Each structure stands twice: as structure tokens, then as C-alpha cells.
Structure 1
Amino acid sequence: MIRITRREYFNAAHRLYNDKWSAEKNFEVFGPCSRLHGHNWELYVTVEGEVNEETGFVMDLKKLKDLVKETIISKVDHTYLNEDVDFLKGILPSTENFAIAIWNILQPILRDTYGVQLYEVKLQETENHYAQYYGPK
């Protein structure tokens, strides 16, 4: 078993805000992130599997790049995550929830179409923090 990772970049804004709470409680919990703000995000998608003897690949990285760009990046780049992204509707777009949502889109496609296992979705929001998701346990 071997793993390979593709990295992509995108820009998106979000607001950490729970509509069930007051503005004061939101600021208490989320601080300045309770206001609209943006990030230069980095997305790392790692797949694992056996190396194909004919290609030397676990998965063709161009196909992985195209899949991630089509299913994720094209839908989130230069958007307001709270309102513009269908797969985040009704979900507080924290880094953790966002990474899980990305996993839920990519995993069945990678498994069923490409025969590889999604190992990890790493979503970096700032230079100081990121979320890593390895799927449901």
C-alpha cells in the first residue's frame, strides 16, 4: 500500500456564526471570525492503493487534479462558503466541517470510478492551522 497526495489552492470567504445564538455569544465563541473574512486555502487530497505495474501509479495525478478541480475547487473558489456553496448549505463552514464535506464528495468517486481509497483530506485555512480528516471510524 502506498499513498500519493495532490495539493490545490483556492480563495474563499466564510463566517463562523451560529444563527441560534446572539451576536454577542457568536463573538464570544468565534471572536473576529464571527465576521465575514476570507482565506487563501490549501487542499491536500491523499489517496492510497497498490501501484499499477503498467503505469507505475496508484492513480494518475492528472485525473486526481481534474476530479478535485471539477468537484471541489470550481464550486468553492472565490465564493462565500456560507451562502454560495451547495454542499455546505446548512453546515457551519468551519475548517473541520468543510474537510468532512469534501471527503463525502470525493470518497465515493475515488472508490467507484478509480478504485483507490481516499486516505486523507487536509484542509489548511491559515499558515497556523488546518484540519485533517480520515473518514468516519
Structure 2
Amino acid sequence: MVYLTRQEHFNAAHKLFNPKWSKEQNDAVFGVCANENWHGHNYDLFVTIKGTPDPDTGFLYDVKKLSVLIKEKVIDKLDHKNLNLDVDFMKDQLCSTENLAVGIWKQLEPHLPAQVQLHCIKLYETARIYVEYFG
């Protein structure tokens, strides 16, 4: 089994806010991340696929095609957007990095060819905080 990772980057704003809770409870749980005026992150996204390399090319999957897929299905929907307001696949969800990683998986997985599998979404919110999702 060979693993191939493509790194991408996007910037997005969001706020952590549970509409079922009071402002005070949201502030207590989410702190500054519940800021009514939003806040942003410079996200780093690592998409890892796995499979067996093609004997004719030596490639697991054409990385240019993988890059286009990630751009069309994920980056174009997220970059310089408000995750809470602008992103269809985050609608009605708490916009945590954990939920965002799951949403990214769901955007990519159905569009990969049969010869490869999505292995991992690793999403850095900051240089010291990241989430890994394995489906």
C-alpha cells in the first residue's frame, strides 16, 4: 500500500456558537471563538490517498488531477469564505475544525476513482492545532 499526500491552503472565517445555548454559555465554552464579529484562520489541508501504483506510470494517482479535484470540491468553496454563512456543506453545523475535516472528506471521497481510497484528512487550524479524520 502506497500513501500519497497533497497539501493545500485556504483562509476562512467562522465563529463557534451553539444556537441552543445562551450567549453566556457560548462565551463560557468557546471563549473568544464565539466572537459575534467572527474570527479567521489560515488553514493548511493535507489530503492523503492510498492504493497500489499503476504499473505503467508508477503513479498511485495523477497529482495534478488530485490537485484539481481538491481545488474544485473544497478550496473554491472555502477560501476567503465565512464557514458559517457561505459554505453549503457546513450549513446547520457547528463550524469546528473537527466538523470541517469530516465535511471535507464527504466532499472528496465520492469523486475519487475506484483505484484509490481516501485515507486521511489532516487539517491545521493553527501551527499547533490540527485534526485528523480517517473516515
Smaller-chain TM-score range? over 0.9
- Which runs of no fewer than 5 residues in structure 2 stay unpaired? none
Task: Please give the alpha-carbon distance, in whole angstroms, between the structure 2 residues aligned to 1:119 and 1:96.
Answer: 16
Asked if the contact 1:42/1:125 (under 8 Å) is kept, the reply is yes
Q: Give deviations 1:90-133, integer Å, cap 9, x for gaps.
A: 011100000001111111211xx352100000011001101000
2:76 corresponds in structure 1 to 74
- Is 1:34 the counterpart of 2:55? The answer is no
- For the residue of structure 2 that corresponds to 1:20, the secondary structure is coil
Task: Please give the alpha-carbon distance, in whole angstroms, between the structure 1 residues aligned to 2:114 and 2:68.
Answer: 13
- Is 1:120 the counterpart of 2:120? The answer is yes
TM-score, normalized by length of structure 2? Answer: 0.96
> How much identity, in percent, do the aligned residues show?
53
The number of aligned residues is 133
1:24 corresponds in structure 2 to 24
How many Å apart are 1:19 and its aligned residue?
0.6
Asked if the contact 1:87/1:101 (under 8 Å) is kept, the reply is yes
Task: Please give the alpha-carbon distance, in whole angstroms, between the structure 2 residues aligned to 1:129 and 1:83.
Answer: 23
1:58 corresponds in structure 2 to 60
Q: Post-superposition, which runs of at least 4 consecutive aligned residues in structure 1 deviate over 6 A?
A: none
TM-score, normalized by length of structure 1? Answer: 0.95
Task: Please give the alpha-carbon distance, in whole angstroms, between the structure 2 residues aligned to 1:104 and 1:9.
Answer: 18
Asked if the contact 1:59/1:114 (under 8 Å) is kept, the reply is no
RMSD, matched Cα: 0.8
